[in-house]
A and B are shown apart, each in its own frame.
Chain A
Amino acid sequence: SQQGEEDPQALSIQEGENATMNCSYKTSINNLQWYRQNSGRGLVHLILIRSNEREKHSGRLRVTLDTSKKSSSLLITASRAADTASYFCATVQTGANNLFFGTGTRLTVIP
């Protein structure tokens, strides 16, 4: 399977705390992306990090990429109740243009 894996599968934190999700993948990639999905809805693109980048920021989001370990992490700082959703990493393999998703992390932020 080309699907990546994420951990934890579920994460529950208090509002204001930071949330960290990890993603591991299997193949050589062109880029790695993080998406958010609210229950039963479509996906929203959060951030893209290229294979030659190691860290990227966007607002309260911080993404790291370690291609030697084939892993990435997503950090959400100062979490809010509205951040409650499922978060997926997805990779675009080298030479391809289709996305393969990780297993996802269900984040619950308690007000």
Chain B
Amino acid sequence: GAVVSQHPSWVICKSGTSVKIECRSLDFQATTMFWYRQFPKQSLMLMATSNEGSKATYEQGVEKDKFLINHASLTLSTLTVTSAHPEDSSFYICSASLTPINYGYTFGSGTRLTVV
């Protein structure tokens, strides 16, 4: 089945630094991947849609200069949290799907980001 690998699983960084999170589709090509953010005991909020070879589409209220998304290949999308602040601490999850209309999405295992 479709497998999505996300790395790292957790990261602690200092305020002001940048952190890159990788999302890879291991056994299929994903022209589209999605990035979500989840605060403790809350639901997932879609941040952006990552499109291979083109600019990401950001949801309203998500700062594109803060959360840089690159989807340079059909199997890799990266999310970079730039100039991180403690309020950026959250659980970030990516997902992809072989055929979104007919099948469910496969999610990465998530990245726990803590900014100190």
Instruction: Report which A residues bind B (CB closer than 8 A).
Output: 3, 30-31, 33, 35, 40-48, 88, 92, 97-104, 106
Cβ of B36: which chain A residues have Cβ within 8 Å of it? 101
Taking residues whose C-beta sits less than 8 angstroms from the other chain, chain B's interface range is: 20 to 34
Confirm or deny: B34 has a beta carbon within 8 angstroms of a beta carbon on chain A: yes
B6, B46, B104 — which one has the most chain A CB atoms within 10 A of its CB? Answer: B104
Confirm or deny: B67 has a beta carbon within 8 angstroms of a beta carbon on chain A: no
Q: Report the minimum CB–CB distance from A2 to chain B (whole Å).
A: 8
Q: Report the minimum CB–CB distance from B51 to chain A (whole Å).
A: 11
Counting from the closest, the 5 A-B pairs by CB-CB distance are A45-B104, A97-B100, A42-B109, A43-B107, A42-B107
Cβ of B100: which chain A residues have Cβ within 8 Å of it? 92, 97
Chain A residue with Cβ nearest B6: A42
Chain A residue with Cβ nearest B101: A30
Q: Report the minimum CB–CB distance from A79 to chain B (whole Å).
A: 21
B49 touches A104 (CB 8 A): no
Which residues in chain B, 19-46, are within 8 Å of chain A measured between CB atoms? 32, 34, 36, 41-46
A33 touches B112 (CB 8 A): no
Q: A35-B104, A42-B108, A97-B32 are in contact. List 9 more A-B contacts (CB 8 A).
A: A33-B105, A40-B91, A40-B110, A43-B107, A45-B106, A92-B100, A98-B34, A99-B46, A101-B44
In the assembly, what is the distance between CA of A46 and CA of B106, in Å? 11
